[in-house]
Amino acid sequence: MGRRTVSVVVVLVCLGCSIAAFAQSTDSFAQSTDFFVQPTTPTPTTALRARVFQVRPFVARVDGEPVVDEDWLNAQIAEANRVFEPAGIQFRLGDVVPIGEQHARLERRRDRHALGQFMGTGVIHWFVVGFLRDVDDPTVTRRGVHWRPKGYSKKGEPRKHFVVVAKYARPHVLAHELGHFFGNRTHPEIEGNIMSYLPSDAPRSFNLAQLQRIRFFAQRFANTGELAVGNME
């Protein structure tokens, strides 16, 4: 075997070793990149703790009886907690406050404004009534509303606002009105969106933009002291 033949053999052997080594190294790299592309589940020590806001229910009474029972209230709160969970927000049901029969039917704007007399600070005020009419179109019955009463906000303070849900509302209506409370004003025509009026049999949810808006307003409410903030135990 000549010198040139020996050199070619050596080169080929070295080249084969390099290719094998490169193949092995790329396999290792492919395995290492799994760290970047595989989703990870947050552990209890790394997951963010949810902010908790108290929702205080003011329940109208008719003939001495509340228009809804405790199970109805809990179902509304449970659905709101499910929908708001991706925003890092949860709600705790406060003690029920009974209100008189004169507040059981909200027919006009002044009926809604009158609820401002019950408002305090630090909590979300949730009024539950027997009937709610649209104030712009008297032929329309409403299931819920987010409302700002006139005459109950002091100068220099954030304007007071509350949510109302009628007794015949489906379990997701409180979550919808709380979506308004936390800054989402519009009703997008997106099936399955909690702020949409479109019917949907699927579980409803917020989109990313809506979740970001909720977090912004939650921070603002906390900073101004409008709402007291707690954490899940």
CB 149 within 8 A of CB 115: yes
Task: Encode pLDDT of 38-50 as tens digits.
Answer: 333 333 333 346 8
Task: For the chain, list the domains and their CATH numbers.
Answer: 54-224 (3.40.390.10)
β-sheet bridge partners, residue 59: 98, 128
Residue 42: predicted pLDDT: 33
- In Å, how far are 84, 188, 229 from 176, measured between CA atoms? 10, 12, 21
Virtual torsion, Cα 210, 84, 115, 122, nearest 10 deg: -100
pTM above 0.85, yes or no: no
Average pLDDT of the residues in 201-220: 97
User: What one-letter code names the amino acid at 106?
Assistant: L
Question: Which residues lie below 8 Å from residue 41, measured CB to CB, with a gap of 6+?
Answer: none
pLDDT digits (tens, 9 = 90+) for 178-192: 999 999 999 999 999
Compute the C-alpha angle 43/202/193, nearest 5°.
80
Indicate the SS3 state at residue 169: coil
**What pLDDT is attached to residue 100?**
98
63-96 pLDDT, tens digit each: 999 999 999 999 999 999 999 999 999 999 999 9
144 contacts 177 by C-beta, under 8 angstroms: yes
Q: What is the pLDDT of residues 126-156, one digit of tens each?
A: 999 999 999 999 999 999 999 999 988 888 7
CB atoms within 10 A of CB 79: 20
Is residue 112 exposed (0-12), middle (13-18) or buried (19+ Cβ within 10 Å)? buried
